[in-house]
Amino acid sequence: MDGLRAAQVKVEVLTPADLQREEPFLARDLPGGLYFPQDAQVQPMLACAALLKAAKTLGATFLPQTALLSVELDEKGKVRAAVTGAGRIETPRLVNAAGPWSSPLAGLVGLDLPTRPRKGHIIVTEPLPKIVWHKVFEGSYADTVNSGEAALQVASVVEATKSGTILLGSSRQLVGFDPAVDTLVLKAIARRAVRFYPVLAGVQALRAYAGFRSFTPDHLPVIGESKQAPGFFINTGHEGAGIGLGPISAKLLSQLILGQPPALDPVPFRPERFERVGAV
């Protein structure tokens, strides 16, 4: 609590009665909770579309569905060009922001970046009358995020959307890039959600999906320029918080690229804490 407050995160302690007032459909046997009044929700695809529009207004060019295939380095090992599915682009700077795929892309310049895909499943319920008012997650959620466990871990996250559906999470597994939706994981998520919201027991699931988060061994993002391949910038490893952290991490990266004073201390995020030279 003190750590949160020192970081200017507002937090209030809720008694069982407060919990019932804030979330009337929560299970009645919970001992209390914490409320974060600054917390907010965003629809990630709409946020992405808005950022794309803003960037285009500022002169950015986009090449959708275009893969980076290789990176040309000069005789000093500095970035010279990106070779993409749409041709060669001469540039002294390149940003590897490929999320869970950042490690293979770092391999294009011979860097061994130890990020790994951390799989997560989500269940989307049928549209429902209002039963969830806040984004609610159980206290052990932080433990699952901060663990390095490869096996399945589940901690309940329940949040409603504007359309009335409810999103149920969360699962974490280090099982490579296997995109299959696993019904055993869905059952574990559903069971946990019903523990906190018994009313969900009779609700239909509309769909479920799995995705990958970019996991780093020390649970911090990787933001900055590679020491071993100058001009090759990295912005990845945001795990399950890349939507929330995206704007500040992009701001920090842009300041590092432009040589401006950084908005926050970049040292904990430096790529060289992991960099090992691999085979090009």
Query: Cβ 28 to ligand FAD, closest distance in Å?
Result: 27
Q: In the complex with ligand FAD, which residue's Cβ is closer, 98 or 186?
A: 98
Measured between alpha carbons, how far is 150 from 119 in angstroms, rounded to an integer?
Answer: 10
Give the nearest residue (CB) to ligand FAD: 242
- Closest residue by Cα to residue 126 from 185, 22, 200: 200
212 binds ligand FAD (CB under 6 A): yes
Of the ranges 19-27, 100-108, 254-262, 268-276, which one interacts with ligand FAD (CB under 6 A)? 100-108
| 101 forms part of the interface with ligand FAD (CB under 6 A) | yes
Residue number, 116 or 213, with CB nearest to ligand FAD = 213
Instruction: Give me the helices (H) in the chain, please.
Output: 2-6, 16-22, 44-57, 102-107, 141-146, 183-196, 242-258
Q: Which is nearer to ligand FAD, 101 or 197 (CB)?
A: 101
**DSSP β-bridge partners for residue 171:** 154
234 scored as a contact of ligand FAD (CB under 6 A) = no
Q: Does 240 bind ligand FAD (CB under 6 A)?
A: yes
Place of tokens 């795990």: 239
- 271 touches ligand FAD by CB under 6 A: no
Q: Tell me the chain's radius of gyration from C-alpha atoms.
A: 21
Residue 221 interacting with ligand FAD (CB under 6 A):
no
Pairing of strands 136-137, 222-225: unpaired
The one segment of 175-183, 206-214, 223-231, 257-265 that binds ligand FAD by CB under 6 A: 206-214
β-bridge mates for residue 235, sequence order: 223
Within residues 102-121, the interface with ligand FAD by CB under 6 A covers 105, 120
Q: 127 CB contacts (<8 Å, ≥6 apart)?
A: 163, 164, 165, 206
CB of 210 to ligand FAD, least distance (A): 7
Strands laid side by side in the 79-84 sheet: 68-73, 79-84, 87-90
Query: Is the Cβ of residue 65 or residue 204 nearer to ligand FAD in the bound state?
Result: 65
- What 3-state class would DSSP assign to 143? helix
**Among residues 17 and 279, whose Cβ is nearest to ligand FAD?**
279
- Chain residues binding ligand FAD by CB under 6 A are 67-68, 97-101, 105, 120, 122, 169, 211-213, 236, 238, 240-244
